């Protein structure tokens, strides 16, 4: 055992033909399972023989385990005393995970662990107090995220003969690791694996897809066959500057709905409307820093790229959306953005000077203010402008392609879009998640609205009820176990009410976010409502300091791909969906359970749990009004 040239601890033969790199978190229960169950078998079979070298890489996910970075920083202090000492400390942190996972400050526990292992405690405490390993941990987290990892444990299998690299995510069965390692040792490719980004001596990705988006510095008036440029106000556009219709998109580089629009809908719109010169598409910066704190840095960087040409801007724009997962979780995206800019071919010195000056930050702030002044508060949002009549129509959300086609075809025919009157009326009163646009079923995700929320019942029902719930809230539990079954039988199952659920885990319930993530992960496999019901039925069982084992037990009672569920439970994507719900509830809802009843383009709020009889009476009255007025 020892340390690689980059300082990462390893155990095994450094000259082994295969290296297995583990990205791990000391407080991740799946990492514990891998370390305690799978790793010993792999060491016995492949480590002792010298066939495989095992490398440890820090990847604490602080949004899931806030104190994990302290453990990783402490282990780096121990590593200063030697590789043997590091691995002893590593093993003890995993063995005693349940003893420190819920400590608000594990410093005393970590110091006692070092003392119990008879380490040099004076040197250990001096290192911890200096804080010199904290930045190293942050840098290593950023490196892992650059590889596209967002959950733990994650692995890179490296064939040291040809540098071929393959990724595997999750605490998989030992048999799968054996299959992959045997294939690599035989000079083959692991079954079902595809090559991935390799590791260089500097621990950075060896390649970035941005290189395929490089553009000719001398041809900045064209991008992928379309005219590009800037409006008089300085906004980038793609399509003919003389187009009869303009589509202004207010967007956020880290918004997953914006990514879907850009990657799925936009290519068809460009080919159908921009290619003929009928429509141009204008980009408007609208990063929501409250939801995506590092998004403004991407927008600032894109303006620095734009200073060198419109084609560079659109290439940079496409890469940021295409590789959103690679930089969405970075605490500091500066290095990633610089690397992307360099790959597409900009003058990197000019780019860095621009970024360092900070001159574009006020521009981004002003553009966000402009979007809010127009009434937008979510992304993506759109203004469709008839350049001949100056008529303007708003759309909100990553709507289906057909909705954009309907609007554009009408505008090009000199007509008012048929849905415009209804859309304008509702958009001015309700946020996207509650208006007629956001409540449309998502064709790509059955059982979910376009706003990303699970629903049950008829989406065309005259009355919509949106529930804000907390899985650890006793009143929510009482509502769902006592009143909801009657509501479902009386209204939802009869097609009279569309029932929508949004997460609102309160700070007073520490395990509620984990439960919400579990429901989201089950929802990814079409089992949201089944998990929703189980969580309320078994609240006392999983509302414990470490809820993950109980949540996994619940998942095993459902028809789920358990490996996929476990991987999801440890990743950032479902947590971001929960945070999105929290962000959307801001300034609207502050207690659970709360209900918003939607009809007539208006929302009516109802707070607190009620008896089934009382709730049914309220809903009957609201339903009568909804039928009379319409949604």
The predicted-structure confidence for 264-310, as pLDDT tens digits, reads as follows: 899 999 999 998 899 999 999 999 887 788 899 999 999 999 999 99
Q: What is the mean pLDDT of residues 457-466?
A: 96
Q: Has residue 427 got a pLDDT over 50?
A: no
Architecture of domain 209-428: 3-Layer(aba) Sandwich (3.40)
C-alpha 100/C-alpha 104 separation (Å) is 9
pLDDT at 199: 57
Query: Strand order of the sheet with strand 18-24?
Result: 2-3, 9-11, 52-58, 18-24, 154-159, 165-169
C-alpha 430/C-alpha 598 separation (Å) is 9
Q: Has residue 195 got a pLDDT over 80?
A: no
Helix (H/G/I), strand (E/B), else coil: 246: strand
Query: Strand order of the sheet with strand 226-230?
Result: 222-223, 226-230, 236-238, 279-285, 245-251, 381-386, 392-396
Counting residues of the chain whose pLDDT is more than 90, the rounded percentage is: 62
The reply to whether 209-428 shares the fold of 2-185 is yes
pLDDT at 569: 86
pLDDT at 571: 75
Q: Are 312 and 222 in contact (CB under 8 A)?
A: no
pLDDT at 200: 46
pLDDT at 201: 36
pLDDT at 567: 84
Q: Has residue 218 got a pLDDT over 80?
A: no
pLDDT at 164: 87
Q: State the burial class of residue 32 (Cβ atoms within 10 Å of its Cβ: 0-12, 13-18, 19+).
A: buried
Q: What is the mean pLDDT of residues 441-463?
A: 94
Q: Are 1 and 49 in contact (CB under 8 A)?
A: no
pLDDT at 212: 56
Give Cβ neighbours of residue 425 (< 8 Å, ≥ 6 apart). Answer: 601
pLDDT at 601: 84
Architecture of domain 434-629: 3-Layer(aba) Sandwich (3.40)
pLDDT at 248: 97
Q: Has residue 493 got a pLDDT over 90?
A: yes
Q: Compute the CA torsion angle 211, 329, 164, 160 (nearest 10 deg).
A: 130
Q: Name the band, by pLDDT with cuts 50, 70 and 90, for residue 432.
A: confident
CATH class of 2-185: alpha beta
pLDDT at 423: 46
C-alpha 499/C-alpha 440 separation (Å) is 13
Q: Has residue 363 got a pLDDT over 80?
A: yes
Q: Has residue 211 got a pLDDT over 80?
A: no
CB atoms within 10 A of CB 334: 15
Q: Name the band, by pLDDT with cuts 50, 70 and 90, for residue 214.
A: low
pLDDT at 419: 66
Instruction: Choose the weakest-confidence range: 191-195, 338-342, 449-453.
Output: 191-195
Residue with tokens 């793609």: 238
**Domain ranges (residues) in the chain:** 2-185, 209-428, 434-629
pLDDT at 113: 96
The predicted-structure confidence for 565-585, as pLDDT tens digits, reads as follows: 988 887 777 887 888 888 788
Report in angstroms the alpha-carbon separations of 522 from 24, 528, 554, 605. Answer: 24, 5, 10, 28
pLDDT at 149: 83
The predicted-structure confidence for 48-73, as pLDDT tens digits, reads as follows: 899 999 999 999 988 788 899 999 99
Q: What is the pTM of this model?
A: 0.54
φ, ψ of residue 226 to 5 degrees: the values are -110, 145
pLDDT at 153: 92
Q: Name the band, by pLDDT with cuts 50, 70 and 90, for residue 207.
A: very low
Q: What is the mean pLDDT of residues 209-218?
A: 64
Q: Has residue 256 got a pLDDT over 60?
A: yes
pLDDT at 142: 79
């Amino acid at each position: 055992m020892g340390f690689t040239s980059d300082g990462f601890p390893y155990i095994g033969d450094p000259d082994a033909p295969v290296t297995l790199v583990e990205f791990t978190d000391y407080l991740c229960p799946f990492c514990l399972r891998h370390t305690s169950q799978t790793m010993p078998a792999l060491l016995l079979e492949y480590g002792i023989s010298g066939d495989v070298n095992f490398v440890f890489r820090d990847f604490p996910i602080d949004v899931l385990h806030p104190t994990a970075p302290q453990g990783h920083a402490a282990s780096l202090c121990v590593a200063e005393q030697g590789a043997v000492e590091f691995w002893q400390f590593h093993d003890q942190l995993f063995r005693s995970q349940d003893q420190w996972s819920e400590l608000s400050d594990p410093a005393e526990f970590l110091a006692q662990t070092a003392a119990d292992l008879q380490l040099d405690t004076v040197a250990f405490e001096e290192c911890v107090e200096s804080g010199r390993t904290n930045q190293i941990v942050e840098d290593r987290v950023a490196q892992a995220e650059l590889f596209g990892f967002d959950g733990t444990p994650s692995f890179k299998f490296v064939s040291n003969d040809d540098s071929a690299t393959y990724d595997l995510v999750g605490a998989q069965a030992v048999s799968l690791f054996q299959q992959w390692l045997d294939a690599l040792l035989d000079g083959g490719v692991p079954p079902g694996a595809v090559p991935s980004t390799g590791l260089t001596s500097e621990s950075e990705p060896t390649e970035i897809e941005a290189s395929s988006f490089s553009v000719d510095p001398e041809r900045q008036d064209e991008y992928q066959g379309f005219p590009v440029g800037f409006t008089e106000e300085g906004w980038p556009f793609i399509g003919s500057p003389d187009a009869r219709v303009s589509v202004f998109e207010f967007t956020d580089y880290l918004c997953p709905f914006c990514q879907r629009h850009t990657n799925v809908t936009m290519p068809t719109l460009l080919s159908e409307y921009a290619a003929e010169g009928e429509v141009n598409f204008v980009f408007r910066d609208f990063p929501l820093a409250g939801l995506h704190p590092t998004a403004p840095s991407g927008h600032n960087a894109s303006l620095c790229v734009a200073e060198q040409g419109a084609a560079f801007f659109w290439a940079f724009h496409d890469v940021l959306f295409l590789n959103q997962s690679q930089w969405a979780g970075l605490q500091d995206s500066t290095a990633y953005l610089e690397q992307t800019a360099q790959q597409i071919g900009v003058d990197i010195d000019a780019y860095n000077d621009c970024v360092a000056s900070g001159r574009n930050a006020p521009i981004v702030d002003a553009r966000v203010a402009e979007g809010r002044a127009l009434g937008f508060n979510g992304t993506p949002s759109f203004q469709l402008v008839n350049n001949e009549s100056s008529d303007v129509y708003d759309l909100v959300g990553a709507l289906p392609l057909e909705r954009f086609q309907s609007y554009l075809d009408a505008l090009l025919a000199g007509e008012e879009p048929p849905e415009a009157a209804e859309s304008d009326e509702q958009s001015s009163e309700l946020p996207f998640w509650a208006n007629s646009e956001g409540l449309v079923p998502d064709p790509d995700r059955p059982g979910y609205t376009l706003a990303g929320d699970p629903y049950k019942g008829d989406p065309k029902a005259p009355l919509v009820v949106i529930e804000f719930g907390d899985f650890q809230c006793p009143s929510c539990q009482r509502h769902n176990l006592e009143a909801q079954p009657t509501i479902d039988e009386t209204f939802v199952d009869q097609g009279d009410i569309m029932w929508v659920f949004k997460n609102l885990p309160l700070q007073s319930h520490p395990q509620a976010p984990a439960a919400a993530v579990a429901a989201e992960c089950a929802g990814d496999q079409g089992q949201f409502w089944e998990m929703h019901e189980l969580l309320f039925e078994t609240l006392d069982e999983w509302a414990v300091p470490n809820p993950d084992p109980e949540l996994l037990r619940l998942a095993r009672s459902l028809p789920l791909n358990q490996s996929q569920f476990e991987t999801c439970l440890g990743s950032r994507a479902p947590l971001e969906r929960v945070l999105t719900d929290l962000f959307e509830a801001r300034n609207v809802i502050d207690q659970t359970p709360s209900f918003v009843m939607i009809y007539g383009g208006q929302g009516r709020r109802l707070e607190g749990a009620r008896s089934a009889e009382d709730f049914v009476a309220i809903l009957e009255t609201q339903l009568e009004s909804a039928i009379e007025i319409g949604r």
